[in-house]
Chain A
Amino acid sequence: MADEGDGKRPLLRVVPGGSEGSARREEEALLAAFLVGDDEAFGALVRRHEKLVLSLVRRYARTPEDARDLAQRTFLRAFEAARRALRRGVLEEGAVPFRRWLIRIAVNLGKNHLRDALRFTHTSLESVPEERLGTEPPGAAAALEHAQRAARVRAAVLELPRRQREVLTLRVDAELPFAEVAAALSITENAARVSFHHALQKLKALVGEDSL
């Protein structure tokens, strides 16, 4: 590895999972720079992906600080994984599926955080719809009722079976295409689509269709 003093830059290629062209080359260059010791490249990569990662972890966070800490841990683990993969030479043809790693790590950390948080009273960020309430139809009662329905549905999302929850949140929270959802979870695209459908059906059963 280059940061071990052999003087060679690592041969690697980032697989950003959808973005093409110059953005992809930029990301390759940034990750390569980070892996040879350029910490500023790390900051640039965080800025590039922070929206995606935050969108994934905030569903599991109880406070804004929770979301920030989960996102930070996601980035550190992904970079550590990239560094180790390069050191051990396990990269396939030099490719680093960095964005895919970020998604996977964010989902796993969120799941673990949820597991830990369930030991206490869980109040996630979505139960504080500070801006959403303002967009509701006029009338405090209607707004309150809508907020309560939303809170019930979002609580039910966290009760879904793991695979269904992952597929649903990757699609809804991160707005990923199903091909990328499938790649992140190492399943087929068709399996991801069917899991999404099952998640919706299960959600309806959990909250009761008449409450919608």
Chain B
Amino acid sequence: MKPECRDLEVLRSLAAAGALDGDEAARLAAHLAGCPACRAAEQADRALLDLVKLPPPGPAEALATADLPARALAALRARGRRRHALLRFGTAGGVALAVAAAVLLLLAPVLFRDRAPEPPAVAQAGWQEPDVDALWTESAVLELSDDAASTGDTWGDDALAAYDAWAGE
């Protein structure tokens, strides 16, 4: 490919798309007149672009799109209704929440006054005078009793009697 051909490649593509005019069109036309390779390439580009084009809308497509403005308008109105409904719902919900918050603030002292938290058990436990007698009894290791059998004094009496017998009394 000659350098001039390369320089004109973009213009050739544009010409195939019918998008060239003025000086550029004249420059390309002058080149094409003397360059069979570029003429053939331009024809190939035109053929390719012809295949790129979509076929015109058929009856089925024309029928399906005939009511586009009416459908679009209906969709727009439906969307507007939904937006307004959401707006109303949002506004009503906001007002309801604000009212609920205000009522809660007003009633808070009443609601929570009788429900003061009970002091913890530790706080309730104050100093009490100990019952010394009970403490003594509960902490006694041996239970004192007047009963000799239970005190072991029997052994002392027996020993004394034995001594008395030995001493001849």
Contact = CB atoms under 8 A, between A and B. Distances in A.
A46 interface: yes
B68 A194 contact: no
The dominant DSSP class at the B interface is helix
A200 B61 contact: no
B19 A200 contact: no
B65 A50 contact: yes
A150 B50 CA distance: 9
A207 B51 CA distance: 11
B52 A50 contact: no
Given A154-B52, A168-B52, A68 B68 contact: yes
Given A196-B14, A197-B10, A197-B14, A76 B65 contact: no
B92 interface: no
A32 B67 CA distance: 24
B110 to A, nearest CB: 42
Contacts, number: 119
Contact of B48 (A50, A153, A171): A153
B13 A197 contact: yes
Interface string A172-199: 1100011000000000000001101100
A197 to B, nearest CB: 4
A42 B56 contact: no
A75 interface: yes
Interface in A127-147: 128-132
A2 B134 CA distance: 92
The dominant DSSP class at the A interface is helix
A207 B75 CA distance: 41
Contact of A172 (B49, B70, B71): B49
Given A42-B76, A76-B76, A64 B61 contact: yes
A194 B11 CA distance: 9
Interface string B68-99: 11111101110100000000000000000000
Given A172-B49, A173-B54, A197-B9, A75 B64 contact: no
A39 B72 contact: no
B68 A171 contact: no
B58 A212 contact: no
A150 B51 contact: yes
Nearest to A44: B69
A20 interface: no
A80 to B, nearest CB: 8
B19 A171 contact: yes
B56 to A, nearest CB: 6
Interface of B: 9-10, 13-14, 16-17, 19, 44-45, 47-49, 51-61, 63-65, 68-73, 75-77, 79
Given A68-B68, A200-B16, A204-B48, 16 more contacts: A63-B64, A64-B63, A71-B65, A75-B72, A76-B76, A126-B54, A132-B56, A149-B51, A171-B17, A172-B49, A173-B54, A197-B10, A197-B13, A200-B13, A207-B48, A212-B51
